[in-house]
Structure 1
C-alpha cells in the first residue's frame, strides 16, 4: 500500500513562502518529499528571490540538519531561508534562556569599590553606596538606597529599567545610554525609576507607577515573584 501522507506543505504569504514540515515523519522522509516539492515550486530565473520560513512543529533540528535544508532549498533555486521556527529548543538553549530571564535576588549592601554583576534581572534587597556598582543584563530593582552606579541592560536591552526605593545615583546606565548625577534632583527621589525615553533620546526619571503603561512586559516580574 502506497504511503499517501503529505509530509511537506508549502503556503504562499505576502512575505514569501511558509514551509511546514510534518513533525511525525523522519528527517530523511521529509527531505525526500521536500526535494520533489522544491522542484515543482522553483521560480523562474527572472523572478526575485523568495524568502522561506520553515515551520518545524515539535521537531528539533541540529545545525547539520539545518545546513542540509539550507543547501537543498537554496542551491540552484531562487529561494532563501528567512528563519526556522520550532516549538522545541535544545536543553542548552533552554538553560541559557532560563538564566537570562531569571530574577537574581541578593540581600546585601554593595559598598564602595564593590561590583555586583548578574545575568537576568536583579532584585537587590539593600543599598548601593557611593562608589559601589550593580550591573545586570536585565532590569534592576533595588529595595534600598541607590547612591552608586547602576547599569541595566548591559548587553544592549534599551527596554531595561532601574527602580529604587531612594534614587540618588552617581550614574545610571541603560544599554548604551548614560545619565549622570546632575540629571537628578539634588536631594534624591523616592520610589522612582530610570528608563530610556527614545523620543528624548536619553534616560529619564519617573514615578514607578508609570511602568505598567510604559513597560507592559514587566508584568512577568510580578508573576515570577508570586510563583517563585
Structure 2
C-alpha cells in the first residue's frame, strides 16, 4: 500500500500552490512538507523568488501554526509565501465577520465632542453636530443633517459610502481618503440627499443619492440581498 500524500505541490504560471492534507496530524503534515520542499526544484531560475500559495482545505491553522509553516517554507531558498487559505475559521473570527457585516441603528443627536463608532454599517436617525464624529467599519447612512465629521470604511474598506439627508460636513473620510469641506459646515445652503464615495481616480466624490444603486450594487443586501 502506498503512503498517503500529506502535501501536494502544483506548479502554476504564477508560482506554486501547496495543497495540505486536512486529515493527518499537524506534525505529520510538517514532516511531509519539509520533505517535499527539500526535493522540489525551482524551475524559474536560481535568482527569482517563487510565490507560494498554501491551501489548507478544511484544516484550521492557528496564527502560530501559520507562522511556523511560513518560516518552514521561507527556509527553502527563493520561496516566499503569498497567502494561506483555509475553508474554516475560528469562532472569534466568525464573530468579528458577523459584527463587520451587521447594521447598527442609532436614534439620537451626536453632539460636539462626541464620537460614535460601530464595527459594521451605521444608520443614524438624527443630526451630527459640528465638532462631532461618526465612524463605521462599513457604510454610514444619516437620516438627518451631517455637520461634523463622518468616517466610513474606517478599517480600510474603500467601497464604503456616506449618505445623508442633508450634507454640511466639515470633513468626510472613507478608508484612508480625506475630503475637507472648509466653510461648508457654516453654510446655510444644504445639499439634500447626497452621498460620498471613492471614485475611479481614488478621490472622494459627492453625488446624488440615487446614483448609489449603480455605483455600489452590493448595498442591496440591506434590503435582503436581492
Taking a change above 3 Å as real, the CA distance of residues 181 and 194 of structure 1, as seen in their structure-2 partners, is farther
Q: Structure 1, unaligned stretches of length 5 or more?
A: none
Taking a change above 3 Å as real, the CA distance of residues 66 and 156 of structure 1, as seen in their structure-2 partners, is closer
More deviation, 54-63/91-100: 91-100
Distance 1:81 1:192 in 2: 43
1:30-69 pair list within 5 angstroms: 30-43=29-42, 46=46, 48-69=48-69
CA offsets, 1:52-97, max 9 Å, x none? 1110011111233223323332324332222110011122222222
Does 1:102 pair with 2:102?
yes
Q: What's the CA shift for 1:11? A: 0.8
Taking a change above 3 Å as real, the CA distance of residues 47 and 134 of structure 1, as seen in their structure-2 partners, is closer
Q: What's the CA shift for 1:183? A: 6.4
Distance 1:188 1:36 in 2: 68
In the other structure, the counterpart of 1:191 is 193
In the other structure, the counterpart of 1:221 is 222
In the other structure, the counterpart of 1:179 is 180
For the Cα contact (< 8 Å) 2:46–2:78, is it kept in 1? no
Q: TM-score, normalised by structure 1?
A: 0.83
1:123-202 pair list within 5 angstroms: 123-174=123-174, 175-180=176-181, 182=183, 187-199=189-201, 202=203
Q: Structure 2, unaligned stretches of length 5 or more?
A: none
CA offsets, 1:134-191, max 9 Å, x none? 2223211012222333222234433321101222333323233123155698521222
SS in 1 for 2:224: helix
For the Cα contact (< 8 Å) 1:179–1:203, is it kept in 2? no
Taking a change above 3 Å as real, the CA distance of residues 151 and 70 of structure 1, as seen in their structure-2 partners, is closer
In the other structure, the counterpart of 1:19 is 18
Q: What's the CA shift for 1:222? A: 3.3
For the Cα contact (< 8 Å) 2:168–2:184, is it kept in 1? no
What RMSD, in angstroms, separates the aligned Cα atoms of the two structures?
2.7
For the Cα contact (< 8 Å) 1:52–1:83, is it kept in 2? yes
